[in-house]
Amino acid sequence: MKTLVISDIHGAKDSALKVKELMERSSFDKIFCLGDINYHGPRNPLPHSYEPKEVIPILNSFKDKIIAVKGNCDADVDDMMYDFDLKEYLKTIPFNDQKIFLSHGHVYNEDNLPALKKGDIFMYGHTHIPVIKFENGYYIFNPGSLTLPKGGHERTYGVLDDNGLYIYTIDDRLYMECHFKSDDR
């Protein structure tokens, strides 16, 4: 399994087009979307290519591949615009013998984790800061933001495969990585 992990597009058409480009040229089975798709939010600047109406059809074209969670900037009206489910704040996906927990990060985050077991993976967005770490027997993963990076980081997206977790810059340079080890799981 190879999964594209995205978060915090915030209505930027060029970020949605990057998702489309990655899906067309790579062999991703799924997209995990960690929320904040359309609205830029009251604390963020207006994104560079803010065209939320244009983001909708781009992501809808991958409706059979997207598993998404709702972010704090995702309005109820957004649920009606997408052809995939954007109603839940936490989703659990089976992964080998473990689970992947998807959250935006404003409800469940590193300070308020769901019930994780050894080898589980917790993925969240919200902070716009990329994170990959293994602690207390589980993995913590934040792909950063495709649109509005914070903390001096670049625009980034994530990848999950059977070997590990990876973060890439918008221009496809490897930024961070963590390989799964059999004794970790």
The string of pLDDT tens digits covering residues 132-162 is 999 999 999 999 999 999 999 999 999 999 9
Amino acid at 60: N
The pLDDT of residue 94: 94
Instruction: Flag whether pLDDT at 185 surpasses 50.
Output: no
Please tell me the predicted confidence (pLDDT) of residue 174.
97
Report the CATH number that the domain containing residue 27 is assigned in CATH: 3.60.21.10
Residue 74 lies in a domain: yes
Count of the separate structural domains present in the chain: 1
pLDDT beyond 90 at 77: no
Question: What average pLDDT does this structure show over 101-107?
Answer: 97
Cβ atoms of 75 and 40 within 8 Å: the answer is: no
For 172, the domain range is 2-179
In angstroms, the CA 146 to CA 10 distance is 9
Q: Is there a domain that residue 185 lies in?
A: no
Note the pLDDT of residue 178.
95
Q: Is residue 184 part of a domain?
A: no
The pLDDT of residue 183 is 61
At 184, the pLDDT band (50, 70, 90 cuts) reads: low
The mean pLDDT of the chain is: 94
Token pair recorded at residue 10 = 């915030």
Alpha helices in the chain (DSSP H): 13-25, 52-60, 76-81
Considering the domain boundaries, does residue 33 fall inside one? yes
Q: Is residue 88 domain-resident? A: yes
Tell me how many helices (H) and strands (E) the chain has: 3, 11
Q: Where are the beta strands (DSSP E) in 27-150?
A: 30-33, 66-68, 90-95, 98-103, 121-123, 131-135, 138-142
Dump pLDDT digits (tens) for 7-48: 999 999 999 999 999 999 998 999 999 999 998 888 888 888
Per residue in 52-64, pLDDT (tens digit) is: 999 999 999 999 9
Confidence band of 108 (pLDDT split at 50, 70, 90): very high
Q: Is residue 133 part of a domain?
A: yes
Lowest mean pLDDT among 8-17, 74-83, 87-96, 169-178: 74-83
Q: What is the pLDDT of residue 80?
A: 87
Confidence of residue 123 (pLDDT cuts 50, 70, 90): very high
> What confidence category does residue 97 fall into, taking pLDDT thresholds of 50, 70 and 90?
confident
